[in-house]
Amino acid sequence: MNEKKTRELLRETRVEVAPETFTLVSVRHEDWLKLLENPELSPRMTAPFMIFKDKFETTLLLDDVDFEKIRYAVLNAKTESNFRLLTFDIELDFNVVGFLAEVSRILAEAEIPIVALSAFSRDHLLIKQMDLAKALKVLGEYVADA
């Protein structure tokens, strides 16, 4: 039953691709504090971005424009670039089980690596630019619009 519901939700889903290219940045605690001290290094509000802090690091997802703006302030940061952001444009209730697992399975079978992100009501994926066309083709078989 749950698998059927997940597939039905996928059939209702549109996949949107953000026009920007993104970089994931792993910032040390000291560098994160320096970024906070300088408001000019804050992301613009015109492109998607993410900040996630855990006990190990602060992770930033920035489009290329915002990353170039902070690059000099985070010279010791680990980075991974050339991501595209895919958004599953369907609001998911908190009782939905397996939506992202099914998407991950579909892309894993096509040997497409992902970085999964979740917002309050929608799931997102980071896909390398070189895998984008293949990912959209594969997902297109399962979603309403890719």
pLDDT of residue 122: 93
pLDDT of residue 5: 87
pLDDT of residue 3: 62
pLDDT of residue 1: 43
Q: Taking the chain (146 residues) in consecutive chunks of 10 residues, what is each chunk's mean pLDDT?
A: 76 94 93 83 82 92 92 89 96 89 96 96 96 97 84
* CATH 3.30.70.260 location in the chain: 22-81
Q: Taking Cα atoms as reference points, which of 99, 125, 102 lies closest to residue 113?
A: 125
Class of domain 22-81: alpha beta
pLDDT of residue 34: 84
User: Any idea which fold 2-20+83-140 has?
Assistant: VC0802-like (3.30.2130)
Cα(65)–Cα(50) distance, rounded to whole angstroms? 14
Residues of 86-99 as b/e, b for ≥16 C-beta within 10 angstroms?
bbbebebeeeeeeb
pLDDT of residue 38: 80
